[in-house]
Amino acid sequence: MSKKVFVSTFPFCRTSPVALDLLVSNGFTVTVNPLGRKMKPNEVAEAAKNFDTLIAGTEELTPLIESTNILKFVSRVGVGLDSVPLEICKEKGISVAYTPDAVSPAVSELAVSLIVDTMRRVTYADREIRNGEWTRPYGERIGGSTIGILGFGRIGKRVASHLLGYMPKEILVCDLIDQTESIRVLNEVSSNLHQVNCKLGKNWGHSTSKQVDLNSLLEMSDAITIHVPLTAETKNLINFKNMSLMKSSSVLINTARGGIVNENDLYKVLKENLISAAAMDVFEEEPYKGPLRDLENVILTQHMGSCSNDCREDMEREAAENVVGFFGGGKWEKVV
């Protein structure tokens, strides 16, 4: 009897059929989210109640996991696990997998592009033209600025490597883990890049990196980009009190998870111009319909950090490979 897979994530196989073909060719019966949007928790619970396997996005899975007696395996398309009740899965013997590597290139590139956009006021200028205005707004460069990275895992490290080419004055890292060795490598790469530039007759200086605590990161950075998971400890981690520590000229970027930045507090901070601008790709409730839409100094995108064609294909394929590996006794990316 073939195993039944329900795919709750949206979109799935939008531009490539690779993941779906992999499942079908290995004997799985696949049903894909029919709603054409992100499913609500009760919708996932109802739709997936008779399935052996779930391929999930960021949908909240607690109602399904609490009620199911059939589900054996959850394969996350992506890296975040805040929507998966891991303790209940453990109690019920439901295995969980994820795709931690495939997402990093796309998210890190979006984060850097949003740093450039907010610092140089690109989207703001676009809005002005559409409104018949032309003020040619001034902005700041990454080169010569101090960039703060909150969370120095796979994505945070990749952001840092991208930033080196812009030659920021300093890269500040805030992480629970001692990142001394990673920062040593980053400084070595920066020094080598500086030597290459000098040989080309361009003495542009080089970036230095160091690890700091959260308050120092907030106080010293010209731009802060967030790359931590959403946990009980990081919920509302960035709030009115600590955003008030930031420079009035600074920008805040969140491509990690909604809920890490308190959205109501961010609205107040931006409304009062306590910081220059923000860019939010993730929200507590998606699709987002909140008051940040009324502000000009914030860029809002649609949880699209992973939405490059290649990375999305890789994530979906790896999620499907995890399913095949789990039921076939092969390799799959276990969640510990």
Rounded mean pLDDT, 300-328? 96
Residues 227 and 162 in one domain: yes
> Quick check: is 257 catalytic?
yes
Residue 19 lies in domain? 4-102+308-328
Rounded mean pLDDT, 102-114? 97
Angstrom CA distances, 263 to 62, 83, 260, stand at 24, 19, 9
> Quick check: is 303 catalytic?
yes
Among 76, 257, 312, 317, the active-site one is 257
pLDDT in tens, 160-195: 999 999 999 999 999 999 999 999 999 999 988 878
Residues 193 and 272 in one domain: yes
Among 76, 303, 312, 317, the active-site one is 303
Residues 278 and 266 in one domain: yes
Residues 119 and 16 in one domain: no
CATH code for position 34: 3.40.50.720
pLDDT in tens, 79-93: 999 999 999 999 999
In a domain, 126, yes or no: yes
Residues 94 and 127 in one domain: no
In a domain, 335, yes or no: no
> How many domains does one find in the chain?
2
Give the integer Cα–Cα distance in Å for 214 and 158.
20
Residues 97 and 108 in one domain: no
Residues 98 and 108 in one domain: no
Residues 172 and 256 in one domain: yes
pLDDT in tens, 208-234: 999 999 999 999 999 999 999 999 999
